[in-house]
């Protein structure tokens, strides 16, 4: 690469980093100014000692975990079946999983409320509806991650080898396929986690405790604490990305060498 190109590459990279990190830095510095005249973590202490924060954040974590479980139970067998037996359905299913990118969440939540607020489907108050809604919202990420994981292994031959040894479908899925796409599932899981933690509209309109509506409420009441919560939210998301990278690197080598 010519020296001139290297200089320009560095220039644009630094500019990009500054573009993304300067507002974040400003937010962080603002969050440290809760105590007059001194930089301190007072806003962070206030958040973590607020029982409402613990209450709402815990529920968000619970919704996220349940969403991840539901996503795995629905999407892993679906992606597996499509890869193994129904390749002709791959394109329509991929289209369906991408619909959450197209349909605005506000439209989505209003149609959920309208559909499930009257008999026989009166479940608008149930957390099941929220979990189902989150599962659909995180579908593009979870399905894509699982599909990518399945592409990295020889699904058909592993399945046939398992069958030749007497294994049924449950054993094949849970003891052979799932462990070998663990990194992919974890990637999808952490992405889903980040989506659910940061999601506002569904929890707000389905009237369930969650982190994002709590943060939204605090923004109307206080100044420094919402900034601190935004930093905490970013830190959580980056932690999820870091774990995905760490887990994904380890298993890729094992699977590639095994081929």
* Residue 153 backbone phi and psi in degrees, to 5: -120, 160
Tally of helices (H runs) and strands (E runs) in the chain = 15, 0
Least distance to another protein, CB of residue 153, Å: 7
Q: Residue 230: which of 19, 26, 18, 14 has the closest Cα?
A: 26
CB of 82 to another protein, least distance (A): 18
Q: How far is the CB of 165 from another protein (least distance, A)?
A: 4
Question: What does the alpha-carbon distance between residue 21 and residue 11 come to, in Å, rounded to a whole number?
Answer: 15
Nearer to another protein by Cβ, of 1 and 256: the residue is: 256
Distance of closest approach, residue 162 Cβ to another protein, in angstroms: 8
CA distances (Å), origin 7, targets 3, 18, 20, 207: 6, 17, 20, 52
Please say which residue, 40 or 252, places its beta carbon nearer to another protein.
252
> Both tokens of residue 152?
């990295």
Q: Shortest approach of another protein to residue 87 CB, angstroms?
A: 15
Euclidean distance between CA atoms 115 and 209, whole angstroms: 21
Residues at the interface with another protein (CB under 8 A): 153-154, 157-158, 160-168, 171, 176, 179-180, 182, 253-259
Q: CB nearer to another protein: give 93 or 255.
A: 255
Which residue, 144 or 162, is less far from another protein as judged by CB? 162
Closest CA to 160 of 85, 70, 226, 221: 85
Cβ atoms of residues 211 and 94 within 8 Å: no
Residue 104 or 250: the one with the smaller Cβ distance to another protein is 250
Q: Supply the minimum distance, in Å, between the C-beta of residue 92 and another protein.
A: 22
219 closest CA partner among 233, 202, 205 = 233
Angle between helices 211-221 and 224-258 (to 10 degrees): 150
Q: Judged by CB, which is closer to another protein: 188, or 226?
A: 188
């Amino acid at each position: 690469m010519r020296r001139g190109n290297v200089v320009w590459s560095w220039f644009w990279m630094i500019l990009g980093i500054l573009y993304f990190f300067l507002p974040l830095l400003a937010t962080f510095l603002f969050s440290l100014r809760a105590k007059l005249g001194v930089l301190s973590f007072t806003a962070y202490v206030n958040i973590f000692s607020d029982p409402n924060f613990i209450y709402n954040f815990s529920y968000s974590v619970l919704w996220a975990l349940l969403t991840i479980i539901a996503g795995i139970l629905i999407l892993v067998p679906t992606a597996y079946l499509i890869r193994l037996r129904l390749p002709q359905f791959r394109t329509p299913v991929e289209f369906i999983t991408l619909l959450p990118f197209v349909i605005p969440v506000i439209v989505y939540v209003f149609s959920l409320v309208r559909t499930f607020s009257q008999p026989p489907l009166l479940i608008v108050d149930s957390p099941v509806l929220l979990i189902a809604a989150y599962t659909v919202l995180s579908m593009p990420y979870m399905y894509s991650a699982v599909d990518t994981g399945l592409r990295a292994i020889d699904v058909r031959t592993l399945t046939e080898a398992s069958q030749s040894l007497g294994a049924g479908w449950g054993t094949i899925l849970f003891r052979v396929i799932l462990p070998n796409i663990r990194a992919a599932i974890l990637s999808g899981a952490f992405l889903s986690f980040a989506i659910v933690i940061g999601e506002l509209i569904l929890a707000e309109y389905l009237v369930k405790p969650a982190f994002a509506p709590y943060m939204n409420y605090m923004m109307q009441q206080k100044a420094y604490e919402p900034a601190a919560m935004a930093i905490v939210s970013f830190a959580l998301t980056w932690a999820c990305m870091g774990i995905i990278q760490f887990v994904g690197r380890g298993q890729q080598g094992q699977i590639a060498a095994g081929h």
